[in-house]
Amino acid sequence: MKTDVIVAEHIKHTYDGKKYVLDDLTFNIKKGEVFGLLGRNGAGKTTTIKILTTLILPSEGNVNILGYDIRKDGLEIRKRIGLVQQLPSIEFTSVEKNLDIYGMLWGLSKKERKEKIEELLKIFDLEDVRKKNAIDLSGGERRRLQIAREFMHNMDILFLDEPTVGLDVVMRRNLLNYIKKLVNKGLTIVFTTHLLEEAEYLCDRITVIDKGKIVAIDTLENLKAKYGGKRTVEFRIKNIDLSKLANMININSNDIKINDDRLIILTENPYDIIEAVIEAVKKVNGKIEWLNIRDKTLEDVFLNVIGEENDIS
C-alpha cells in the first residue's frame, strides 16, 4: 500500500467572512500519484492549491503534508514541495543564470547545478536562448523557463497549476512526458488544468470540484463507468436520404445529427442503435461504408458530473 503524503480533512475557506469558496473538502493523495483537480472557473481549484502549498491557511479544517501540520510546519513543508504557477522570471539575467540562481537558492552544488541546467535546457528547448536575458524572451520561451526552473531542485510533491498555458503542442507533450518520468521515480503530482485531454493522459485519480465542493473523486476508469453518460456512434452512409433514415429510428431527435453523408447519434446503448440503423438502411437499399463508436472521454465525465447536458451540435 502506498502511503498518504497529503491528508486534507473538512477544509473550508472564505476570503470575505461571508461566502465559502471551499466548502468541506476531504481527500487524500498517495505517494507517486498524479492527482488531478478539475473544475470550471471559480470552482475553487487555485484556492485549494494555495492552501496545500501553504500560501494561505484554510479558514477551517486540517491539512497534513508529508507528516507535517500545515498550520505549524509551513517552512518544513515548503522545503519539500515545488510549485509551478505563472510567476515572473528573474528578468535581469540570462536563461542559464536564472536556472543557476534557483539551484543556488535550493542548495545545489556547482556540479549538480551544471548537470541539471544542461538537462533542463534540452528538455524545455531553451539551448538556443541560454545566453539571452529573460526579459527579451518570447512569451512561450518565458513560460518554458518559468516551468524549467522549478525542476532545479529535488522535491517530494510538485504542484502544477495550469502549467501548460502558453506552451505549444509539442512542448506540452514533452512536459507531460517529463512529469511521467519523474512520477515513475516516486514524485507525487497535484495537477490542475482546463485541458481535459491533459488530465486524461496524466492523472491516476481525478477530483472534480464545483462551487467549492467535491462532486466526484475516483480513478478515470471508474469515473467513466459511473458518469460517462451517452456515447457517440457515427455512421457514413451512401445512397440514402439521411433525414428520412433518422425518422425511421426510434430515438430522440435531439440525440441525432446529420453532417453531409454522416449520421451521428448519442446513445447509452450503442449496439442496439447499430442494429436498428443496419435494419433501417437495408429497408431503403442504402450502404453503410463506415461506423465508429467513440469511447467515453473525461469531457463526458466532467460535463455529467457538473450537471451540463451532452450536446452533439
- Mean pLDDT calculated for residue range 239-260: 83
CA distance 290 to 163: 39
- Mean pLDDT calculated for residue range 169-189: 91
CA distance 194 to 200: 11
Instruction: Return the higher-pLDDT residue of 13 and 227.
Output: 13
Whole-number average pLDDT of the chain: 89
What pLDDT score does 313 carry? 42
3-state helix, strand, coil in the chain (%, to 5): 40, 30, 35
Instruction: Return the higher-pLDDT residue of 197 and 122.
Output: 122
- Tens of pLDDT, residues 273-306: 899 999 988 888 888 999 998 877 788 788 878 8
With bands split at pLDDT 50, 70 and 90, how would you rate the model's confidence at 208? very high
Cβ–Cβ under 8 Å, residues 268 and 252 = no
Residue 7's SS3 state is: strand
Ordered domains of the chain (ranges, CATH):
4-224 (3.40.50.300), 230-295 (3.30.70.100)
Query: To 10 degrees, what angle do helices 139-150 and 169-184 make?
Result: 0
What pLDDT score does 269 carry? 84
- Tens of pLDDT, residues 158-167: 999 888 888 8
What pLDDT score does 197 carry? 86
CA distance 211 to 278: 44
| Residue 193 predicted with pLDDT over 70 | yes
User: Of the given ranges (11-20, 27-36, 74-83, 160-169), which has the lowest mean pLDDT?
Assistant: 160-169
User: Of the given ranges (46-55, 102-111, 162-171, 252-261), which has the lowest mean pLDDT?
Assistant: 252-261
CA distance 245 to 39: 39
Polymer length of the chain: 313
- Tens of pLDDT, residues 46-93: 999 999 999 999 999 999 999 999 999 999 999 999 998 766 666 789
From the DSSP assignment, how many helices (H) and strands (E) are in the chain?
Answer: 11, 14
- Mean pLDDT calculated for residue range 243-247: 86
What pLDDT score does 266 carry? 83
With bands split at pLDDT 50, 70 and 90, how would you rate the model's confidence at 308? low
